Structure 1
Amino acid sequence: MAPKGDPKVHYWHVQRMAKSLGCDMAQAMSEGRLSSEDWVAMVERCRDCQSTCACRRWLRAAELEDAPREAAMPGCENALVFAHV
């Protein structure tokens, strides 16, 4: 088993992924669709991901686009959460 990634790095990966998908995580939390426990679990799943380098490339490309992407990067550990937020 590989060591977990840096929590700060993966916090920002989750934030950037949400933004690239047009997900407003703060609004989802304020509306009760996402709890603080859900948020922590998302960061923890991201920390366990073995595709960090591919994710960074995907995020960079997504940030260069003008419109939100329709789906998270293939293999994203949080894709199902993003799809329902």
Structure 2
Amino acid sequence: MSDLDMPTQPNLVLGPENDHYWLVQRMAKATGIDLVRAANTDILTQQDWAGIVTHCRGCTWSDGCGRWLDQPDDAQRDLPKPCINRKRLAEIKAELEEL
């Protein structure tokens, strides 16, 4: 099972797609991850992107994530430990830095 596959859980209610799409976008921006560049260099596929957003939709920390993202901070930050996509986003960032 890949780390982007959602475990089967009965009654798992996913959050709204649009809300989590923007949470992932904001998380990438706050942590210095250029998602457009990642997509343009084939580091981030459409399937991978959809998996990241879907994974976010099933996360129980989304309220905390929103609060973390709302904290005023112009400096680039490290990915927060509770982020369900932390590992994959860190991999994308590392791959971009190798280019």
Please, what TM-score do these two structures have when normalized by structure 1? 0.90
Structure 1 match to 2:74: 66
Divergent runs of 4+, >3 A:
none
Residues of 2 paired with 1:2 and 1:73: CA distance? 23
Q: Which residue of 2 is the match for residue 57 of structure 1?
A: 67
Deviation at 1:45, TM superposition (A): 0.3
Deviations 1:28-80 (A, max 9, x none): 0101111010000000000000111111111111xx2121102x222211101
Identity within the alignment, %: 37
Gap runs ≥5 in structure 1 = none
Aligned equivalents of 1:8, 1:55: Cα separation in 2:
15
Give the CA deviation at 1:2.
3.6
In terms of fraction of residues, the more helix-rich structure is 1
Task: Mark the runs of 5 or more structure 2 residues left unpaired by the alignment.
Answer: 1-10, 93-99
* 3-state SS of paired residue (2:80): coil
Correspondence 1:18 to 2:25: no
